[in-house]
Structure 1
Amino acid sequence: MRFYVTNAELQEAANVFEFHYPTRVAEVLEKADQCCVGKFSLPYTMAAGEWIDHGLRPDWLYNPTDDLEYTWILNRHWHLRDFGIAYLLTGDERYVAAFKRHIVSWIEQNPLPTSLTYEQLVYFQRPGPWRLLEVGLRVQSWVWGYMMMSHSPSMDSIFVEMWQDSLAKQATFLSRFLGETSINHATMHMQGLYMVGTFLAEHADAPYWRQLAQERLMLCLHDQIRADGIQNELTPHYHTASLDMFGTPYWLAKQTGRPFPGSYLEKLKSMVAFSMATIRPDGKSVALSDSDSGTHVRAKVGLIGAICDEVAIAQQGEISEELLWMMGGERFVSWMKRMEGAQTSEQATTVTFPESGYFVMRDVQQYLFFDAAPMGGAHGHADALHFEWMFQDRLIFGDSGRYTYQEGEWRRYFKSTSAHNTVTIDGLDQTPYVSTQQWGVPEAEVTLHRWESCEAYDFIDASHNGYTHLKDSITHRRWVLMGKKQSFLLIVDWMEGVGTHHLEQTFHLSGDAQTEIQQSRNGSALEALIAFDEEEDKVSGMRMYWVGTVGANPQLVMKEGWRSDDYGMKEGIPVLSCHQLFTDQTVITTLCLPQGKANDSEVWEMEYINVNLVETDRHHIGGPQSVHIPRVDLQFTKSVDGQLAITVDERGVSVKMKG
């Protein structure tokens, strides 16, 4: 039996774990104790945070929710690893007894499916414990738990034979039914198969399992990772999770003398840049598409740095307990020493991924993540031209998150266009919603028209065609200009098409934002004052201004929205909504002026915003055609620093400081 580390090394790692992670020790022991008596608290389900009683010999099909994820995650058996750690820490045979009881009861309750077709068995949303994804993850949990408890006198040969027989049957199942390599599920199928093929090295089929798994992992890497290093489902959560999915089999192969090709390693390393780009200044990750705002990214990057044996990558992340268990105490301590004195450089520079359509605008005070990407499949949201913006470590406009995969109104809400910081036309999503894991057609496509980045500003100009399928078609084009030398954010939303429509432009604020809609002092703009709870070194407030084209009558209202930082959890948040009726064409310009830190009395004041439609000729096949193109001129003042004048149109951007 071969593994990442030996049982003796895992026993040593437990001592290191107890020293370095005392808080986690308490958490693991509590979870192991609860699971020993058949109570489970399952993350990523609609019962997250609750202890659900499944019985001493657990009922593996009991589901107290309407969420399919509950049964799936229960049957991944992640808790068996907690049993193993608890046993290493305490030597208490209760954990071994529970491990055996859970394995035996699972085998008895869940016979191998034999009456389903190949198509049914490879369907990525198939209910129940024999979905391929659960098999791939469950076998890893079984091996981890056993390796941590294999020195127990209670681990008798009769049980081990039964356990190994089921493990081999599940590996055979993974080798016979092959999932689609373009999604992350297939990676986890083969991650599990490679582990079993390595662990049960003496099994007659083990060489085949290892070869098939390695070849398909290479195929998954080829099919899923785009030229700019982003996983093709275009979801930050699953991208970073894929670092682990691809990285751990590579490390296991290296440790057991069967290394993967060098090209696999280079592709793996190319994924790190996007993971790092998704980390906001507050340490959380952006929650675009089906993502949570977790703090796990640096741990994954640190692990990949250690797997690749590249200090430069590891220093971007952090050394974590995952590295300890996978590499053992000696390597863990060695990496801790290698990281001592290493300064994690907070990247304050703009970075782009044009192949995939993500643009991260950054300076020392701001972080803006702009979405000009395709849908990305089932995990995508109807969020073209949406963005998150942080200023001075405070989330100003945020993504709503995912909340649930359970079919129903909440799933539809969190995936909808109106749950994002973009524009909704006629109350419709940019791409038609079908079900929790399916979008309709046509799918909204984004076109990038311009991207500029310089010392003074970052600017993007993009449009999408999601509303061109309407009977009276409309194209939404958005300009976003983020000032750097002087901090401001300008958003220009330009709708062009035919017919009369209703538009709604939404901004999802942080939960502590207090908003007051005001009459603009110059009378030409809508105005809102946003105040935040006072925190040291964070922006205290912001003024927002809205100006439309001549004849437009935009209205500004507050409404309730929702944000989910973690699956199954949500909180109400304030949403600023600007809406209006228009015919054929309209432009709404929004200016955001941060009001400095809590003790900063000097603030920018808007003087004017002019929005005009300028007639110009465009070349078409039939000859020149007269069209109207927006031009935005604005100026704002700060008594100490003078005046800032900005012009944006289709020809370019001008940002000039005066006096």
Structure 2
Amino acid sequence: MKEILEPLRAYAREPLRDGPPELLPWDSADPWGLDGAARDTLGLLIAGEKPGPRLFEAADYLLTFCTAADRSEGFPDALLLNGAALALCGYLCEGRHPEAEIWRLTGCARLATQAHARKAALENRVAADCLLTVCRAADERGLPILADLITLRERMWGRLLSHARAERLHVSEADYPSHMKAPTPPERIGALMRGRDWQARARNPEYLLSADTEEAEGTCRNLLTLRAHMLVRHQFGSEIDWHLRLFDDVESTVSLGGQNFIRNLAAAYVRTGDEKYARHAARLLWSFYRLSPVPNHRQAQGPWRTLEVGSRQWRVWADPVGYLGQTEAFDPETHAMLARSRLEHIRYLLSYCGGPNNWYQVEASGLATAALFSPELRHADACLRVALRRLKWINRFAYYDDGFQFELSHGYHVFPTSAIFAVVRTARARGVPLPEDFVALVEKAQEMYLYAAQPDHLLPMFNDCNPQPLDPAPLLRAAAEVFGREDFRWGGTHGREGRGPDHASHAWPSAGYYAMRDRWGESGQFLFFDGAPYGASHQHEDKLTFTLHAHGRPLIGDPNIYSYARTELTHYFKSSRGHNVVMIDGKGQARRFRPQARLSTQGRNEWVTRPGFDFVSSEYLEGFAPDPYPDRGEASQVDASLSHRRAIFYVKPGYWILCDLVLGQDKDTHTLEQIFHLAPIHAPGAPEPMRAGHLSASAMEVLTRDPGLANLAILPVDPEGLQARAQKGETSPAVGWYGVLGEFPAWDVTLTRQAPLPARLDAAMFPLPPGQDARPTVRRLRADARVTAFRITGPGIDDTFLLCEEGTGPVTVEDMTFEGRALLLRRRPELRAMAVNPVRVLVAGLDLTP
């Protein structure tokens, strides 16, 4: 073996004295990054390390981690060396460690994937050396080797070889017993699987199924509904083309691979008891098994894309097995097939991972769930251990300590959080204990569903979200059952059961999200504010945006995104133009050029919540740049001299005050655009479920005018020199669209001003209950780089507002002297001061300091 390993000496390093850490370091350049760990293990092998704890520990580390946290491209051979080192550990430790065959097969699969990607080029010396060394080790030991490596060897060296020892990730009916703890004759395996009563406990509760029987009827005819960032149907023939890609949009294949239409068949069976749904669910599962065999090397697209491989196991298959498992259609043969396919999913997920985002969480959860569903397997416990170690690694930075997922999207919080919750639910069904810190994290992550829900019970849609609005109540209900929390039960039943939260407004200070709320209930007022980083992925250029909901209706919304297709509308939904932010000289935010922005943001956030008011402030300091379609500009165009600071003061219950301060380093006149996206009218079930309402827009006032509904008045403090522009449904460039339930025209209102910097854009945002149109007027009192002040008067209202930048000192306006951050002085019905960080509040000589 020493002579066989010699060609890899050039890629090895002197082994470190200490073994690998529990978790992969963030920095790829760390000695125990992917590249360093592989080279260290090669060093051990070349130095003659015998099978024992040191080599076993190294192999387990290589098996567990195969994705770099920082997405570094500085180590192009890391995965190639990882596969070679892991495969060699498997060959060397055969018969000496029970998991050696996992190391061998997984390592060979990763090596084959890398060699395929390099087009089997013989001139790629590192790939050629690794592949030939692993093949020779397999020959020397007389052990199986992945079929792809034999084929690659033939291609690279031009000589046909014996395939007698070829193995695959595929598991045949005859081979399955050899993977079991207690080998069982093939003909008895299906009955064994079918007889496991705990599988019914591992399924999703009925209230999570949301059966669509009309869609299920179509599925029975192979008319499949595809819902991954689209809502279309496709009529297949007698068989499903599981690789189909419609209109060159990968999400069509994603929908097929996700198989949610099979889960819907289970839901339809639960609702109706009609056995035909079970028959067609079994038919489709067999179709997938026969027409989409597991590949040996990684597939970037198609039914074996790792994200769908993981999601099938935790999201879909538990329900057909749990609800349909005792039907006639789910006979022992079908159960045996599912067991084999489940093992193939395990082998594939051991071998390959997606990026360090929701993919990794979903894939690791799928691996954990599949392992928990396969207690008959010899390596089930090892696979669960790897999955939990991966989840511990990704979750330590995938969730902020306040429980929000690091993609900072409500929709993409739900996806991986549901995945890790499925692991907890499945483990409890089987009575398998899980690490306490993992369970605590899963519980903490559920809190977003409770505190972020709008008064209409739907979640906001920040960054990329599924275009289908989501009520998280069923998720909270399931969480209440698992964690025993009465506030979850309250949220899960829309307040009918359980106990409501002990506070209304809520902050996720580590993530940078803030929810303002006067009270719980469908008639309450609500604003969700973004002071967050760019996000790990699925990002929009939208820091400082917000949504506003009052009197039973969303009034200012986030247009979301509908499709991932590279269209003009998709670009609009991601850009600053598609959000409630400020643009400067036609330039929007430009965090896409700053990798550090994914997980952290510059500037500071402020949050104060009191019984009578909420206050939030944040700033955007990461530069502005053109964002043209389709190339999105260049990093060299970023103007870091421009910045935007936004503060929102909420007078509870009542109205919001919006203060924008734009700063720069020159004396030039700039074009400032303050953008508002007026939420369309949501009419579920209507031919046009999202419809732009009526409005009027002028420098004095932006007012929605929808009879019988709540409306909103936006009252600019400085109308002089201000221009108002309302647009909807425009293209080239795209302006005025909403990406919820489709792509629909919706009002994009822009208030434009020409001004030197610093400049202020302030407004009062006044929600109007149905049938009421009385609104106040706003009068400017002071505006400069340090202070903004104005008075808001109208029926029953006489409020004066001051906002001071830090370090301003005492400020006198009219009969008031104030020192602090922000002050709302209410003169009716009685004199009252509401202040942020007050040092002194004097009114006509009266000390009102809170």
Q: TM-score range by the shorter chain?
A: 0.7 to 0.9
Distance 1:37 1:528, change over 3 A: same
State the number of aligned residues.
585
Matched residue, 1:106? 288
CA–CA distance in structure 2, aligned partners of residues 82 and 644 of structure 1 = 54
Matched residue, 2:341? 166
Does the residue aligned with 1:51 lie in a helix, a strand or coil?
A: strand
**Counterpart residue type for residue 397 of structure 2:** D
Matched residue, 1:458? 614
Matches within 5 A, 1:352-363: 352-363=507-518
Higher RCO (CA < 8 A, seq sep 6+): 1
Matches within 5 A, 1:263-412: 263-291=437-465, 292=467, 294-318=469-493, 342=497, 345=500, 349-364=504-519, 365-412=524-571
1:160 deviation in Å?
4.2
Matched residue, 1:563? 738
Q: Deviations over 1:277-329 (max 9, x none)?
A: 2211122111111124623312111111111133343222239xxxxxxxxxx
Matches within 5 A, 1:242-641: 242-291=416-465, 292=467, 294-318=469-493, 342=497, 345=500, 349-364=504-519, 365-431=524-590, 445-448=601-604, 450-467=606-623, 470-471=638-639, 473-484=641-652, 486-498=654-666, 499-511=668-680, 513-518=693-698, 526-535=699-708, 539-547=710-718, 553-560=721-728, 561-566=736-741, 569-594=742-767, 596-600=768-772, 603-613=774-784, 629-639=785-795, 641=796
Preserved contact between residue 3 and residue 198 of structure 1 (Cα < 8 Å) = no
Q: Deviations over 1:462-512 (max 9, x none)?
A: 211232673572111122222226534233332323355332110011225
Preserved contact between residue 585 and residue 672 of structure 2 (Cα < 8 Å) = yes
Preserved contact between residue 265 and residue 308 of structure 1 (Cα < 8 Å) = no
CA–CA distance in structure 1, aligned partners of residues 675 and 646 of structure 2 = 13
1:65 to 2:251 alignment? no
Does the residue aligned with 1:204 lie in a helix, a strand or coil?
A: coil
1:44 to 2:228 alignment? yes
1:265 deviation in Å?
2.1
Preserved contact between residue 456 and residue 655 of structure 1 (Cα < 8 Å) = no
Does the residue aligned with 2:295 lie in a helix, a strand or coil?
A: coil
1:76 deviation in Å?
1.8
**Counterpart residue type for residue 354 of structure 1:** P
Distance 1:606 1:3, change over 3 A: farther
Preserved contact between residue 402 and residue 511 of structure 2 (Cα < 8 Å) = yes
Distance 1:369 1:82, change over 3 A: closer
CA–CA distance in structure 2, aligned partners of residues 4 and 227 of structure 1 = 42
Distance 1:114 1:597, change over 3 A: closer
Distance 1:146 1:593, change over 3 A: closer
1:647 to 2:819 alignment? no
Does the residue aligned with 1:217 lie in a helix, a strand or coil?
A: helix
Preserved contact between residue 543 and residue 593 of structure 1 (Cα < 8 Å) = yes
**Counterpart residue type for residue 656 of structure 1:** L
**Counterpart residue type for residue 673 of structure 2:** E
Q: Which of 209, 217, 230 lines up with 1:33 in the alignment?
A: 217
Preserved contact between residue 716 and residue 761 of structure 2 (Cα < 8 Å) = no
Matched residue, 2:46? none
1:458 deviation in Å?
2.2
- Bigger mean CA offset, 33-42 vs 447-456: 447-456
CA–CA distance in structure 2, aligned partners of residues 155 and 82 of structure 1 = 16
CA–CA distance in structure 2, aligned partners of residues 477 and 265 of structure 1 = 38
Does the residue aligned with 2:493 lie in a helix, a strand or coil?
A: coil
Q: Deviations over 1:383-434 (max 9, x none)?
A: 0111111222332211111211222222211011011111112323312658
TM-score (norm 2): 0.63
Matched residue, 1:618? none
CA–CA distance in structure 2, aligned partners of residues 3 and 269 of structure 1 = 32
CA–CA distance in structure 2, aligned partners of residues 226 and 42 of structure 1 = 32
Does the residue aligned with 1:315 lie in a helix, a strand or coil?
A: helix
Q: Deviations over 1:537-583 (max 9, x none)?
A: x64452522417xxx833211112111223xx122111210123334
1:154 deviation in Å?
4.5
Matched residue, 1:53? 235
CA–CA distance in structure 2, aligned partners of residues 591 and 296 of structure 1 = 30
- Bigger mean CA offset, 136-145 vs 57-66: 136-145
CA–CA distance in structure 2, aligned partners of residues 317 and 90 of structure 1 = 24
1:608 deviation in Å?
1.4
**Counterpart residue type for residue 758 of structure 2:** Q
CA–CA distance in structure 2, aligned partners of residues 410 and 379 of structure 1 = 15
Preserved contact between residue 529 and residue 544 of structure 2 (Cα < 8 Å) = yes
Preserved contact between residue 512 and residue 605 of structure 2 (Cα < 8 Å) = no
Matches within 5 A, 1:207-218: 207-218=381-392
CA–CA distance in structure 2, aligned partners of residues 38 and 69 of structure 1 = 18
Distance 1:545 1:346, change over 3 A: farther
CA–CA distance in structure 2, aligned partners of residues 24 and 191 of structure 1 = 22
**Counterpart residue type for residue 800 of structure 2:** A
Distance 1:231 1:115, change over 3 A: closer
Instruction: Say which structure is richer in strand.
Output: 1
Distance 1:112 1:380, change over 3 A: same
**Any stretches of 5+ residues in structure 1 without a counterpart?**
320-338, 519-525, 614-628
Distance 1:453 1:41, change over 3 A: same
1:345 deviation in Å?
3.3
CA–CA distance in structure 2, aligned partners of residues 316 and 390 of structure 1 = 18
Distance 1:191 1:8, change over 3 A: closer
**Any stretches of 5+ residues in structure 2 without a counterpart?**
1-191, 625-636, 682-692, 729-735, 809-820, 829-850
Cα-Cα RMSD = 3.3
**Counterpart residue type for residue 310 of structure 1:** R
**Counterpart residue type for residue 131 of structure 1:** R
CA–CA distance in structure 1, aligned partners of residues 295 and 223 of structure 2 = 27
Preserved contact between residue 717 and residue 790 of structure 2 (Cα < 8 Å) = no
1:102 deviation in Å?
2.5
1:638 deviation in Å?
2.6
Matches within 5 A, 1:79-90: 79-87=261-269
Matched residue, 2:39? none
Preserved contact between residue 309 and residue 345 of structure 2 (Cα < 8 Å) = yes
Q: Percent identity?
A: 21
Distance 1:4 1:396, change over 3 A: farther
Distance 1:483 1:170, change over 3 A: same
**Counterpart residue type for residue 216 of structure 1:** R
CA–CA distance in structure 2, aligned partners of residues 4 and 404 of structure 1 = 43
Distance 1:81 1:10, change over 3 A: farther
Distance 1:571 1:204, change over 3 A: same
CA–CA distance in structure 2, aligned partners of residues 510 and 52 of structure 1 = 31
**Counterpart residue type for residue 744 of structure 2:** E
CA–CA distance in structure 2, aligned partners of residues 359 and 4 of structure 1 = 49
1:34 deviation in Å?
1.6
Distance 1:313 1:248, change over 3 A: same
